[in-house]
A = this chain, B = another copy of it.
Amino acid sequence: MTNEARSRTRRADALSRDRIVRAAVDILDLHGEGGLTTRSLAASLETGSGAIFHHVGSRDELLRAAVDLMVADVIGGIAVETTPRESVRLLMLGVFDAIQAHPWAGAQLAREPWQTTVLEVFLEIGSRLQPLGVREEELFDAASTLLSYLLGIAGQLAASVHISRGTDRAAFLGAAVENWAARHSSADSPFVRQVTRLANHDDREQFIAGLEIILSGLALHPE
């Protein structure tokens, strides 16, 4: 009886690494990386600020665990019955979509590219490249290139959060381009004309365009 009462006081939702990581993800999605502090996390878990360190070790480890969770979902979620042609694209797009939905994950991936999760993505990319017809000696460079491209995009997606709020993006970029073009006396070059697209482009479409450029740069041999 007394035991019953005591265990009830302790609550069914005992603290655990898993519960902490999930709570962290919620805060990150809601308030961004700046919103996740030891104190805000402890408050949302209704516990003391020091309790977290009993289960997680450090804030960095917590961010790593959060991003692990996310990437594992993406990799696990890719349909098995796809053609080799589709497989790399689905993987790259899967990570892209996850980062767009959770920009803090993009910042973390770009900041710690030696995380085991990133290595995992690298290996998944590489293993999908092979049946696509990439020459064996080029496999490593091809996978590295795609990964670096993905990490670069990840950082940009993470940063775009800080941009959208605040100054008007189109106006800012337009002014910068104009300034540059004037300094180079190339105001009417084809590239400067094309650059106006920067202001109002779709991030996902542009990601795909770059992906296709890289893929078509790979010397494929017939299967």
Contacts of A190 in B (CB 8 A): 130, 136, 139
The yes or no answer to A173 lying at the interface (CB within 8 A) is yes
CB-based nearest B residue for A135 = B190
Contacts of A113 in B (CB 8 A): 155-156, 159
A67 to chain B, nearest CB (A): 14
- In the complex, the answer to whether B155 meets A195 with C-beta atoms within 8 Å is no
Oligomeric state, in copies: 2
- In the complex, the answer to whether A213 meets B145 with C-beta atoms within 8 Å is yes
- In the complex, the answer to whether B120 meets A180 with C-beta atoms within 8 Å is yes
Instruction: Choose from B120, B152, B198, B213 the contact partner of A152 (Cβ within 8 Å).
Output: B152
Instruction: Mark contacts of A22-61 with chain B using CB atoms, 8 A cut-off: 1 yes-contact digit, 0 otherwise.
Output: 0000000000000000000000000000000000000000
Contacts of A150 in B (CB 8 A): 152
CA distance A154 to B163 in the complex (A): 21
A112 to chain B, nearest CB (A): 6
Instruction: Choose from B151, B186, B209, B214 the contact partner of A127 (Cβ within 8 Å).
Output: B186
The yes or no answer to A119 lying at the interface (CB within 8 A) is yes
Contacts of A218 in B (CB 8 A): 213, 217
CA distance A173 to B120 in the complex (A): 11
8 Å CB contacts to B: which residues of A112-137?
112-114, 116, 119-120, 123, 126-127, 129-130, 136-137
Contacts of A219 in B (CB 8 A): 216
The yes or no answer to A21 lying at the interface (CB within 8 A) is no
In the assembled complex, 23 residue pairs joining A and B whose CB atoms fall closer than 8 Å, in A order, are A111-B155, A111-B159, A112-B159, A114-B162, A114-B163, A119-B180, A127-B184, A127-B189, A127-B191, A136-B190, A139-B191, A140-B197, A140-B198, A140-B201, A141-B209, A145-B210, A145-B213, A147-B152, A155-B155, A214-B214, A215-B217, A216-B217, A217-B217
